[in-house]
Structure 1
């Protein structure tokens, strides 16, 4: 599989909510880092977030994709779009730097403006408040 094909499979799997495919594209010890919280996630932590995203955002799509493939992986800029249950539109421009070894993703560094994540943070906060005794 080429790096471009790997990237296509990754984003198609995320759009469709197929975290089993995503897991298969990650190395066992892969990490995902996010600039907005400067936290690094394990594969399991990242898959938990992706499952939540799939349940929370309808019509999840990667749009305006620009990708540069290189020997060690790829860089991609895209706009993640979708809608929340209350009709709020989600629009999150992002840039990812993805390191690939063989045919597995070993690291993702994701850059987004936290202001664009506001609608998602609001949903997460409401759900936490509903489940806190």
Structure 2
């Protein structure tokens, strides 16, 4: 991968793991970035994604991306990884996922995320009940 794409991908993962939304907002996404998930077939913007990331890092304070594999594409990269962490009741989770990322310059403009919903079921009791969470 190009050093720029690889550096951006690493910066993105580290910022998410640390709950550093400012870094994602200021150096990874653009204001027009679109995030799509296979779980609900919806496109969301950065602000809604930030709410999800804040929730996720609150529920999984030890969240980490492991077994990361990336391949460059003509307009970005594809990344496979395992998201691991422990929910508040002590249950360990292991979610295999894939990002298909489109870049414009050194920023992510689109991220399609595919993940195994069954593996994420231990998160269900902690999911927010209102869209503002």
Same fold, judged at TM 0.5 (above): yes
What is the rounded CA distance, in whole Å, between the counterparts of 1:20 and 1:112 in structure 2?
25
What is the rounded CA distance, in whole Å, between the counterparts of 2:123 and 2:42 in structure 1?
17
Map 1:75-86 onto structure 2 (within 5 A): 75-86=78-89
The structure whose residues are more often helix, as a share, is 1
What's 2:51 paired with?
A: 48
What's 1:128 paired with?
A: 129
Unaligned runs of 5+ in 1: none
Unaligned runs of 5+ in 2: none
| C-alpha displacement of 1:71 | 3.7
What is the rounded CA distance, in whole Å, between the counterparts of 1:58 and 1:17 in structure 2?
9
Any idea what SS the aligned residue of 1:54 has?
helix
- Length-normalised TM-score, structure 2: 0.90
What is the rounded CA distance, in whole Å, between the counterparts of 1:39 and 1:67 in structure 2?
24
Any idea what SS the aligned residue of 2:77 has?
strand
Considering only aligned residues, what root-mean-square deviation do their CA atoms show, in Å? 1.4
What is the rounded CA distance, in whole Å, between the counterparts of 2:58 and 2:116 in structure 1?
22
- Length-normalised TM-score, structure 1: 0.90
Any idea what SS the aligned residue of 1:81 has?
strand
Aligned positions, number: 127
Detail structure 1 runs of 4+ shifted over 3 Å in the superposition.
none
What's 1:105 paired with?
A: 108
